[in-house]
C-alpha cells in the first residue's frame, strides 16, 4: 500500500487575542498521498487557510501559535524544524499558491526577479540559468510572450496572469506538495476554468500532490479525487469525490450541496442557505459545532462531540446520526 507523503495528526492552531483565545484549528488529522489532489472545503472562517498556513509554518506569531500536533513530511515532523530548516522546505518540497496574488507578489520587484529568487535560493544555478528557467516556467503556465512578461511588474498584469505567476513560483523547484489557497477567488468563470485546467496539467506533469482549499464545491469536483469538509476548525466528513458528491452523510455537507446551483433543473429555484451562524471559536461548544444549525440535532449532539464513524470504506463522518442507536434515540425525543 502506498504510504502518505504528508501526515497531519491532531493539529491545533490558536490565536491569542485581547478578546481571548480563538481556537481556529481544533485537533484535525488527515493524510495526503503521492500524486493525488485533495479538496479542503467549507464556509469562510472554518479553518481551511489556517490549516494550510500551519503546514507551511507561516502562522504569524504573535498572535497565532501551533499549540500541538504534528505534520510529517515523509518521516520528518515539520513542527520540530528550526526556522532555517523550514526555509529549505518551503518552496522546495512544499509550496503554496496564496489567495490574493496582488498582495502576495512584491510590487517593487519584477516578475522575473521573484521567480528567480526561489530558484537561486534552492538550486545551485547561475542567474543566467535561473532566468532561462523562469521563462520556461512562465511558458509552462501558459503565459504568452514570457520573454516580455518576465520584465513586467505585478500591477501590469491581469488577475489571471498574476495567479499564473504565483503558480510558476510554486512549481519552480518541482515540490512534492502544492497547497492552492482559493486560487480562483475574484476571477471570472472563464479564467477560473483555465486555472483549474492548469493545476490538473501541473499535477500530471510533475506528479505533485495538490491540496485545494476552497469554499466552492464545484471547483473541487473537476480536480480532486478526495474531499475533506471542514467546519468550525474540525473535519466533519472525509471521503472520495464520488462518496461526497453522490452520497454525502453529514447534515453540514447536505447544506453545502444544496447551496450549489444546478444547471440541469427545469424550473428556477432559489438557492438553499444554511440558517444561523457558525459558532464563536473563542468559546466553541462542547458538543457538535453544527448542532445549533442542524435540523436533525439530538440531545447528545449538544453534550458530546461525535467521533468519526465509517459507514463505507474510506468515508468518515463525524455525526451522531451515523451511530446505530440514532434512529431509536430520535423516536424517543
Q: Is the peptide bond before 62 cis (omega within 30 degrees of 0)?
A: yes
Q: What mean pLDDT do residues 169-191 have? A: 83
Q: What is the mean pLDDT of residues 244-262?
A: 87
Q: Which domain holds residue 185?
A: 6-93+175-277
pLDDT at 74: 86
Domain boundary among 277, 301, 316: 277
Both 153 and 238 in one domain: the answer is no
Cell numbers that stand for 267 in this block: 424550473
Length of the chain: 333
Q: d(Cα 57, Cα 70) in Å, to the nearest integer?
A: 11
Cβ 235 vs Cβ 26: under 8 Å: no
Whether residue 153 sits in one domain with residue 52 = no
- Tens-digit pLDDT profile for residues 40-57: 999 888 999 999 999 999
Q: Which of 26-35, 147-156, 203-212, 238-247 has the lowest mean pLDDT?
A: 203-212
In tens, the pLDDT along 13-34 reads 999 999 999 999 999 999 999 9
Residue 330 has pLDDT above 70, yes or no: no
Contact 46, 233 (CB under 8 A): yes
Q: For residues 85 and 25, state if they share a domain.
A: yes
Q: State whether residue 180 is helix, strand or coil.
A: strand
Q: How many domains does the chain have?
A: 2
Any domain includes 308: no
Query: What are the C-alpha distances in Å from 97 to residues 22, 185, 259?
Result: 25, 12, 26
Amino acid at each position: 500500500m502506498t504510504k502518505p507523503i504528508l501526515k497531519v495528526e491532531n493539529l491545533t492552531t490558536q490565536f491569542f487575542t485581547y478578546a481571548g483565545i480563538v481556537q481556529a484549528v481544533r485537533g484535525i488529522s488527515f493524510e495526503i498521498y503521492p500524486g493525488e489532489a485533495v479538496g479542503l472545503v467549507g464556509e469562510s472562517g472554518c479553518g481551511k487557510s489556517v490549516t494550510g498556513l500551519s503546514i507551511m509554518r507561516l502562522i504569524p506569531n504573535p498572535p497565532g501559535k501551533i499549540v500541538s500536533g504534528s505534520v510529517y513530511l515523509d518521516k520528518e515532523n515539520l513542527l520540530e524544524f528550526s526556522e532555517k530548516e523550514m526555509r529549505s522546505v518551503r518552496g522546495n518540497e512544499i509550496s503554496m499558491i496564496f489567495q490574493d496574488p496582488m498582495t502576495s507578489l512584491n510590487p517593487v520587484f519584477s516578475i522575473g526577479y521573484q521567480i528567480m529568487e526561489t530558484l537561486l535560493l534552492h538550486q545551485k544555478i547561475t542567474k543566467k540559468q535561473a532566468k532561462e528557467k523562469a521563462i520556461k516556467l512562465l511558458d509552462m503556465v501558459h503565459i504568452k510572450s514570457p520573454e516580455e512578461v518576465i520584465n513586467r511588474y505585478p500591477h501590469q498584469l491581469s488577475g489571471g496572469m498574476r495567479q499564473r505567476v504565483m503558480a510558476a513560483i510554486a512549481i519552480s523547484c518541482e515540490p512534492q506538495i502544492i497547497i492552492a489557497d482559493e486560487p480562483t477567488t475574484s476571477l471570472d468563470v472563464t479564467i477560473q476554468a483555465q486555472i483549474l485546467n492548469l493545476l490538473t496539467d501541473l499535477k500530471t506533469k510533475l506528479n505533485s500532490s495538490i491540496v485545494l482549499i476552497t469554499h466552492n464545491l464545484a471547483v473541487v469536483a473537476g480536480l480532486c479525487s478526495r474531499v475533506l469538509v471542514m467546519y468550525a476548525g474540525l473535519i466533519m466528513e472525509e471521503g472520495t469525490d464520488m462518496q461526497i458528491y453522490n452520497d454525502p452523510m453529514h447534515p453540514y455537507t447536505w447544506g453545502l450541496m444544496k447551496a450549489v446551483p444546478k444547471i440541469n433543473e427545469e424550473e428556477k429555484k432559489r438557492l438553499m442557505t444554511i440558517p444561523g451562524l457558525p459558532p464563536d471559536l473563542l468559546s466553541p461548544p462542547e458538543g457538535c459545532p453544527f448542532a445549533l444549525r442542524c435540523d436533525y440535532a439530538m440531545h447528545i449532539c449538544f453534550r458530546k462531540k461525535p467521533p468519526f464513524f465509517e459507514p463505507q470504506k474510506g468515508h468518515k463522518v463525524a455525526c451522531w446520526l451515523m451511530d446505530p442507536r440514532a434512529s431509536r434515540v430520535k423516536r424517543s425525543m
